[in-house]
Chain A
Amino acid sequence: QSALTQPASVSGSPGQSIAISCTGTSSDVGGYNYVSWYQQYPGKAPKLMIYDVSKRPSGISDRFSGSKSGNTASLTISGLQAEDEADYYCSSYTSSSSPVVFGGGTKLTVL
């Protein structure tokens, strides 16, 4: 069982916007602005898309954005494209046990 809770799957049509939620506790998501999001294609290594809740690494499209409210963080992808179809994982710094926890992952399907 993952420490952070994500929906198993989400879907959307090209051009639409979708949001993926990531729910934790006050010891992780709610207590620190250190939530990150990763995109992973089958057979490939994860790629950092968002860090520190809402910051984008260089080279990441501004169609990807992050936010947080209370114990829940969200990744929003606007203007969905076929290439966005992948698995997405959230992660957070945590003050309990290990310093990093992951969500279980969300499979994004572009219809």
Chain B
Amino acid sequence: QLQLQESGPGLVKPSETLSLTCIVSGGSISSGSYYWGWIRQPPGQGLEWIGNISDSGSTYYNPSLKSRVTISVDTSKKQFSLQLSSVTAADTAVYYCARQLSGTYHSDFWGQGTLVTVSS
């Protein structure tokens, strides 16, 4: 059974860069059929799609975050990463990684999520 697990600091200072990694286990990260994505959810609010990446490095980003987001993949380590720069309190959220079907981008497997708080 495919499993995804997010890891990274739970506290980030304003203006710094948020960095998270998602480790994929129980399946391959190298498949032309899937993208690997990030979705976030501020406390008490709805879901926001951040972006995704294919195993070959093709990316799509949410335009509202594009100037601050970088998603990368390391297929040898079966992991992909999110970097969000110049964070503010508005970036406080639970961050989920997920597998997304290429072309339609629905997310069929999700990580458990990790809360990142932006505070000094």
What residues make up the interface of A, taking CB atoms closer than 8 Å to B? 2, 34, 36, 38, 44-48, 51-52, 57, 89, 91, 93, 97-105
Tell me the complex Cα distance, A102–B50, Å: 11
Count how many pairs of residues, one from A and one from B, have CB atoms less than 8 Å apart in the complex. Answer: 63
B46, B62, B105, B106 — which one has the most chain A CB atoms within 10 A of its CB? B106
B111 contacts A by Cβ under 8 Å:
yes
- How many interface residues does chain B have, given as a range? 20 to 34
Are A97's CB and B63's CB within 8 A? yes
Q: Residues of B contacting A48 with CB < 8 Å?
A: 106-108
What residues make up the interface of B, taking CB atoms closer than 8 Å to A? 46-49, 51, 60-64, 96, 100-101, 103-108, 110-113
Assuming A104-B46, A105-B47, is B60 touching A99 (CB within 8 A)?
yes
Assuming A45-B111, A45-B112, A98-B61, is B96 touching A2 (CB within 8 A)?
no
